[in-house]
Amino acid sequence: MLEARWAEGKFLCIGLDVDATKLPESIRGSTIERTIVAFNRAIIDATKDLVCSYKPNIAFYESHGDQGMAALRETMAYIIEINPEIPVILDAKRGDIGNTNVQYALSAFEYLRADAITVHPYLGKESLLPFFEYVDKGVIVLSHTSNPGAAEVQELIVEGQPLYQKIAHLVSHEWNGNENCCVMVGATYPQQLKEVRAIVGDMPILVAGVGAQNGDLEKTVKYGLDSRKKGLMVNASRTIIFASREKDFADAARARAQELHDAITKAV
Q: Label residues 224-263 b or e (16+ Cβ within 10 Å = b).
A: bbbeeebbbbbbbbebbbbbeeeeebbebbbebbbebbeb
Q: What pTM was computed for the model?
A: 0.96
User: Mean pLDDT score of the chain, rounded to an integer?
Assistant: 96
Q: What is the pLDDT of residue 106?
A: 98
Residue 93 falls within a domain, yes or no? yes
The separation between the first and the last C-alpha atoms of the chain, rounded to the nearest angstrom, is 20
- Quote helix, strand, coil % in the chain, to nearest 5: 50, 15, 35
pLDDT at 209 over 90: no
Residue 268 falls within a domain, yes or no? no
How large is the average pLDDT for residues 58-64? 98
CATH of the domain at 46: 3.20.20.70
Q: What is the pLDDT of residue 212?
A: 58
Q: What is the pLDDT of residues 166-186, one digit of tens each?
A: 999 999 999 999 999 999 999
How large is the average pLDDT for residues 251-263? 97
| Residues 203, 183 contacting (CB under 8 angstroms) | yes
Residue 106 falls within a domain, yes or no? yes
Number of domains within the chain: 1
Checking DSSP bridges between strand 138-144 and strand 51-54, what pairing results, if any?
A: unpaired
Q: What is the pLDDT of residue 215?
A: 67
Q: What is the pLDDT of residue 216?
A: 86
Residue 260 falls within a domain, yes or no? no
| Residues 182, 206 contacting (CB under 8 angstroms) | yes
The continuous run of DSSP H or E covering 46 comes out as helix 32-47
Pairwise CA distance, residues 8 & 49, whole Å: 10
pLDDT at 199 over 70: yes
pLDDT at 213 over 70: no
pLDDT at 77 over 80: yes
Q: What is the pLDDT of residues 114-146, one digit of tens each?
A: 999 999 999 999 999 999 999 999 999 999 999
Residue 27 falls within a domain, yes or no? yes
| Residues 166, 154 contacting (CB under 8 angstroms) | no
Identify the domain containing residue 77 by its residue range. 2-250
Q: What is the pLDDT of residues 4-58, one digit of tens each?
A: 999 999 999 999 999 999 999 999 999 999 999 999 999 999 999 999 999 999 9
Q: How confident is the model at residue 210 (pLDDT cuts 50, 70, 90)?
A: confident
Catalytic residue annotation: 93
Residue 208 falls within a domain, yes or no? yes
| Residues 137, 180 contacting (CB under 8 angstroms) | yes
Q: What is the pLDDT of residues 98-113, one digit of tens each?
A: 999 999 999 999 999 9
Q: What is the pLDDT of residue 145?
A: 96
| Residues 135, 180 contacting (CB under 8 angstroms) | yes
pLDDT at 211 over 70: no
Rg (CA), the chain: 18
Pairwise CA distance, residues 46 & 253, whole Å: 7
pLDDT at 1 over 90: yes
E strands, 125-240, in order: 138-144, 157-158, 161-162, 181-186, 205-208, 232-236
